[in-house]
Amino acid sequence: MSVKTPNVGIVIVSHSPLVARGTADMVRQMVGDSVPLAWSGGNSQGELGTDAGGILTAIEAAWSEAGVAVFVDLGGAETNSEMAIEMLGLPRAKLISICNAPVVEGAVIAAAEASGGASLAKVVATAEELSP
Protein backbone atom coordinates (compact mmCIF):
# COMPACT_ATOMS: atom_id res chain seq x y z
CA MET A 1 0.00 0.00 0.00
CA SER A 2 1.43 3.34 -1.03
CA VAL A 3 1.70 6.26 1.33
CA LYS A 4 -0.31 9.24 0.13
CA THR A 5 1.83 12.32 -0.50
CA PRO A 6 1.19 15.60 -2.27
CA ASN A 7 3.57 14.42 -5.03
CA VAL A 8 2.57 13.26 -8.51
CA GLY A 9 1.71 9.56 -8.62
CA ILE A 10 3.30 7.04 -10.99
CA VAL A 11 1.53 4.08 -12.64
CA ILE A 12 3.37 1.43 -14.64
CA VAL A 13 1.38 -0.58 -17.21
CA SER A 14 2.95 -3.53 -19.00
CA HIS A 15 1.71 -6.54 -20.91
CA SER A 16 3.89 -8.56 -18.55
CA PRO A 17 3.05 -8.68 -14.83
CA LEU A 18 6.74 -9.35 -14.12
CA VAL A 19 7.90 -6.29 -16.05
CA ALA A 20 5.29 -4.06 -14.38
CA ARG A 21 6.07 -5.33 -10.88
CA GLY A 22 9.84 -5.24 -11.47
CA THR A 23 9.72 -1.67 -12.75
CA ALA A 24 7.60 -0.61 -9.77
CA ASP A 25 10.08 -2.31 -7.40
CA MET A 26 12.94 -0.45 -9.05
CA VAL A 27 11.13 2.89 -8.75
CA ARG A 28 10.26 2.22 -5.10
CA GLN A 29 13.90 1.41 -4.29
CA MET A 30 15.02 4.65 -5.97
CA VAL A 31 12.52 7.07 -4.35
CA GLY A 32 11.16 5.24 -1.32
CA ASP A 33 7.64 6.17 -0.25
CA SER A 34 7.86 9.79 -1.43
CA VAL A 35 5.75 9.08 -4.54
CA PRO A 36 2.40 7.27 -4.81
CA LEU A 37 3.12 4.23 -6.99
CA ALA A 38 1.15 1.35 -8.48
CA TRP A 39 1.36 -1.07 -11.39
CA SER A 40 -0.87 -3.15 -13.62
CA GLY A 41 0.43 -6.01 -15.70
CA GLY A 42 -1.18 -8.80 -17.66
CA ASN A 43 -4.78 -9.36 -18.63
CA SER A 44 -7.59 -10.37 -16.26
CA GLN A 45 -6.47 -14.03 -16.51
CA GLY A 46 -2.90 -13.16 -15.52
CA GLU A 47 -1.56 -13.82 -19.02
CA LEU A 48 0.28 -11.40 -21.30
CA GLY A 49 -1.92 -8.42 -22.08
CA THR A 50 -3.48 -5.48 -20.29
CA ASP A 51 -6.79 -4.88 -18.58
CA ALA A 52 -8.58 -1.51 -18.32
CA GLY A 53 -10.12 -2.49 -14.97
CA GLY A 54 -6.73 -3.39 -13.53
CA ILE A 55 -5.25 -0.15 -14.83
CA LEU A 56 -8.11 1.81 -13.24
CA THR A 57 -7.41 0.09 -9.92
CA ALA A 58 -3.72 1.04 -10.22
CA ILE A 59 -4.56 4.67 -11.02
CA GLU A 60 -6.82 4.84 -7.97
CA ALA A 61 -4.07 3.27 -5.81
CA ALA A 62 -1.51 5.85 -6.98
CA TRP A 63 -3.98 8.74 -6.99
CA SER A 64 -2.66 12.16 -6.07
CA GLU A 65 -4.34 15.55 -6.30
CA ALA A 66 -1.07 16.62 -8.00
CA GLY A 67 -1.87 14.18 -10.82
CA VAL A 68 -0.75 10.78 -12.07
CA ALA A 69 1.78 9.95 -14.79
CA VAL A 70 1.12 6.63 -16.55
CA PHE A 71 3.89 4.67 -18.31
CA VAL A 72 2.92 2.06 -20.90
CA ASP A 73 4.93 -0.50 -22.85
CA LEU A 74 2.96 -1.26 -26.05
CA GLY A 75 -0.03 0.06 -28.00
CA GLY A 76 -2.63 -2.08 -26.24
CA ALA A 77 -1.43 -0.79 -22.88
CA GLU A 78 -1.96 2.77 -24.07
CA THR A 79 -5.44 2.00 -25.43
CA ASN A 80 -6.52 0.28 -22.21
CA SER A 81 -5.00 3.10 -20.13
CA GLU A 82 -7.08 5.61 -22.12
CA MET A 83 -10.17 3.47 -21.42
CA ALA A 84 -9.32 3.36 -17.69
CA ILE A 85 -8.95 7.14 -17.62
CA GLU A 86 -12.37 7.50 -19.28
CA MET A 87 -13.81 5.09 -16.69
CA LEU A 88 -12.35 7.25 -13.92
CA GLY A 89 -14.30 10.20 -15.27
CA LEU A 90 -14.07 13.93 -14.81
CA PRO A 91 -12.67 15.89 -13.09
CA ARG A 92 -9.94 13.42 -12.10
CA ALA A 93 -9.33 12.25 -15.69
CA LYS A 94 -7.87 15.69 -16.48
CA LEU A 95 -5.13 15.09 -13.90
CA ILE A 96 -3.74 11.98 -15.62
CA SER A 97 -1.13 11.92 -18.38
CA ILE A 98 0.04 8.95 -20.41
CA CYS A 99 3.75 9.50 -21.00
CA ASN A 100 5.44 8.95 -24.32
CA ALA A 101 8.61 7.60 -22.71
CA PRO A 102 10.42 4.30 -22.16
CA VAL A 103 8.71 2.42 -19.33
CA VAL A 104 11.64 1.69 -17.02
CA GLU A 105 13.81 4.72 -17.62
CA GLY A 106 10.82 7.03 -17.88
CA ALA A 107 9.20 5.81 -14.68
CA VAL A 108 12.46 6.09 -12.72
CA ILE A 109 13.28 9.62 -13.92
CA ALA A 110 9.65 10.73 -13.49
CA ALA A 111 9.52 9.38 -9.94
CA ALA A 112 12.77 11.17 -9.09
CA GLU A 113 11.31 14.41 -10.46
CA ALA A 114 7.99 13.82 -8.65
CA SER A 115 9.75 13.08 -5.35
CA GLY A 116 11.04 16.66 -5.41
CA GLY A 117 7.52 18.04 -5.67
CA ALA A 118 7.51 18.82 -9.41
CA SER A 119 4.22 19.45 -11.21
CA LEU A 120 2.61 16.81 -13.43
CA ALA A 121 3.61 18.81 -16.52
CA LYS A 122 7.26 18.91 -15.39
CA VAL A 123 7.26 15.20 -14.47
CA VAL A 124 5.85 14.28 -17.90
CA ALA A 125 8.20 16.64 -19.78
CA THR A 126 11.24 15.25 -17.98
CA ALA A 127 10.28 11.66 -18.79
CA GLU A 128 9.43 12.44 -22.40
CA GLU A 129 12.91 13.94 -22.95
CA LEU A 130 14.06 10.30 -23.00
CA SER A 131 12.01 9.48 -26.11
CA PRO A 132 13.89 9.23 -29.41
User: Is 15 one of the annotated active-site residues of the chain?
Assistant: yes
> Active-site residue among 7, 8, 13, 15?
15
Distance CA 33, CA 43 (A): 27
Residue/partner pairs of 27-31 with CB below 8 Å, 24 or more apart: 27/107, 27/108, 27/111, 30/108, 30/111, 30/112, 31/111, 31/112, 31/114, 31/115
Which positions are annotated as active-site residues? 15
